[in-house]
Chains A and B, each alone.
Chain A
Amino acid sequence: MARTGKEWHEKPKFPETHFVDTRIYTDDVLFREEQEKIFNKVWIIACHESEIPNAFDYRTFHHPGGAELIVVRSEDLKVRSFYNICPHRGNTLLYDPVGNAKRITCIFHAWTFDTKGACTDITRGKQGYQDRFCPADASLREVRADTGYGGFVWVNIDDSAPSLAEYIGPAMELLDESLGLELEVFHYHKAVVHTNYKLWHDTNSEFYHDYIHYFNRATGMIQPGYFDRKYTGYQNGHASVGSMSIKYDAYDGGAERKVGWPGLGPGGWILIDIFPGMTFNLRTSVLRMDTAIPAGPNKLLIEFRGLGLKSDTPAQRAERVRDHNTIWGPFGRNLHEDLLGVHGQGMAMRERTDSKWVIHGREENMTIHDEGGMRHFYAEWGRRMGRKPFDPYDDNNIEAA
């Protein structure tokens, strides 16, 4: 029997850890708070080192906390990051997403900076500022940057945050043997979806949604080992899912994969979710990296990268590209289904749609259709936000268990 309005709003018959109030996906105040308490406190992937291989190469990056950043490889080959803001009149310093700049010169009044963030010239400085202000007073704002875990460039807005290694902890151990060689990005695209970033990370944190994928429900779920895969939760909200062996020849039109990946068995698959919105997805011959960059509670930009080994021969690279695009490219068979799923959640959970709860109630001994990966995420979300995911404004009249 269908439910009445009153019944629709009643607390789900689960422990409070097993459901959330949908306002955490739609509320603008909560989103601004997430930017401050989460995104501006944690390490975020800005790009991959292969995108800036040479001295003075740079990438620009829109940080999910709001800041516009420059990521640049300095003359000493160290990767550094700065606000992409001229300290003079607040103009954007670098306009293009990528380039090479021995000197960073603001187009507005030609103030110039080096790739270590020092101001090297203020045009007609003496005439205008006399001895009151000089280049030493006009350095760029540096943001902490570190490189690791497959050569990704991570940034952290918080000057006093723990190190990247402390933040990641043991969460990446499943990929220790697989990320030792130099990697290279061969695929990059962005997608804007009107949904909440957590819903995308949820999709990367649960495999119960394999039912949305024709190929997965037709073949993946009936493969031996599928239901044996287990979630492991780590400190700081990270989680992993262990490997299974995918029988690609079971897919219609599939073929035996020859290239493989170091440290990964034939047909292997390892997925690691890094809080709050990054996913390492290593499948057979390709590493996919998703970075969620929310622009609002119901607007999400996702950066998708596909990586191979820098040492690939053209034939090996071609096979990785094929493997990637067949499943995960913008025209692939799975990605558009995943994105359609979270797009639909975004439509259904907009403010005033009277959505109320999202349930994370499945318990299957933390195996592949258990929803423990999401529960682990929301426990960390609640800790950092100082709010209860199931009752973010303490107005649901739920007694804490």
Chain B
Amino acid sequence: MEPVEKMNTANVRAMVAELVYRSCMMLDAMDFNAFLAVCDEKFHYLITAFSPEIRKEMTWLEHDKMGMTLLFKTLPKHNSDQSILSRHATVYTISFSDDSKHADVVTVIQIYRTTLDGGATELFAVGKMHDKVVLSADGPLLLARQIKLDTRMLGIGFHIPF
């Protein structure tokens, strides 16, 4: 692959956006190994929400790559809601660091939940996804992801990261 700094900006933007979209598709398909494969070794994952009730920013889930790996590994052992999640994402902005080694991506995301029994779909959560992407000659990788949820009522909750 051509070094990133020599690539056409539009091409890099397309690659970064596609990484975000592909990561959503991998999580939708519960292909967690594929998801981890597009995460850098220093990957950091965060779900946050602001509570007006206590006037505080809250962290609801935080893991490094090893933590995410362990979480995914134990998912089948949990008693969880088995509804299917679909992530609908739209990349809003992509900005590059001065040295062209990183990209910051802001994506709006809606998560829909579809029941196994009958297949009814409901909007489950909305928020924004803030990704930091490391750009290398091997292609872009997710370095950090922060899901900033607007939705704070999630029913019984979910153990699968968004």
Contact = CB atoms under 8 A, between A and B. Distances in A.
Interface string A328-356: 01111101110111010000000000000
A335 B157 contact: yes
Best-surrounded residue of B49, B62, B67, B161 (most CB of chain A within 10 A)? B62
A187 B155 CA distance: 16
B70 A253 contact: yes
A120 interface: no
B74 A188 contact: no
B92 interface: no
A188 B58 contact: yes
A27 B4 CA distance: 66
B153 A187 contact: no
Interface string B27-68: 000000000000000000001010111111011111000110
A336 B51 contact: no
A340 B80 contact: yes
Given A98-B55, A212-B79, A331-B157, A252 B62 contact: no
Interface string A189-209: 111110000000000000000
A188 B155 contact: no
Interface in B58-105: 58-62, 66-67, 70, 74, 77-81
Contact of B59 (A50, A218, A325): A325
Contact of A329 (B61, B70, B79): B61
Given A192-B153, A325-B62, A337 B54 contact: no
A186 B49 CA distance: 12
A214 B157 contact: no
Contacts of B80: 336-337, 340
A331 B157 CA distance: 6
A216 to B, nearest CB: 11
B71 to A, nearest CB: 8
- Main SS at interface, chain B: loop
A157 interface: no
A81 B77 CA distance: 46
A325 B61 contact: yes
Given A97-B53, A331-B47, A336 B58 contact: no
- Main SS at interface, chain A: mixed
Contacts of A97: 52-53
B22 interface: no
A333 B81 CA distance: 12
Nearest to A211: B79
Interface string A202-234: 000000000011110010000000000000000
A322 interface: yes
Interface string A290-311: 0000000000000000000000
A380 interface: no
Contacts of B67: 253
B77 A214 contact: yes
Contact of B156 (A98, A329, A343): A343
A321 interface: yes
A189 B152 contact: yes
A114 interface: no
Nearest to B61: A331
B125 to A, nearest CB: 10
B159 A331 contact: yes
Contact of A193 (B77, B155, B161): B155
A96 B156 CA distance: 25
A335 B155 CA distance: 11
Contact of B70 (A192, A252, A343): A252
Contacts of B152: 189-190
Contacts of B54: 50-51, 98, 185-188
| Pairs A-B, 9 closest by C-beta atoms | A339-B156, A336-B157, A330-B157, A331-B61, A214-B77, A253-B70, A188-B54, A188-B51, A329-B60
23 contacts: A50-B54, A185-B54, A188-B51, A188-B56, A188-B58, A189-B154, A190-B152, A191-B153, A191-B155, A191-B156, A192-B155, A214-B77, A214-B79, A252-B70, A321-B62, A330-B158, A331-B159, A332-B159, A333-B159, A336-B81, A336-B157, A337-B80, A340-B81
Interface of A: 50-51, 59, 96-98, 185-193, 212-215, 218, 252-253, 321-322, 325, 329-333, 335-337, 339-341, 343
Given A50-B54, A51-B55, A336-B158, 9 more contacts: A51-B53, A96-B52, A188-B53, A330-B60, A330-B158, A332-B157, A339-B156, A339-B157, A341-B79
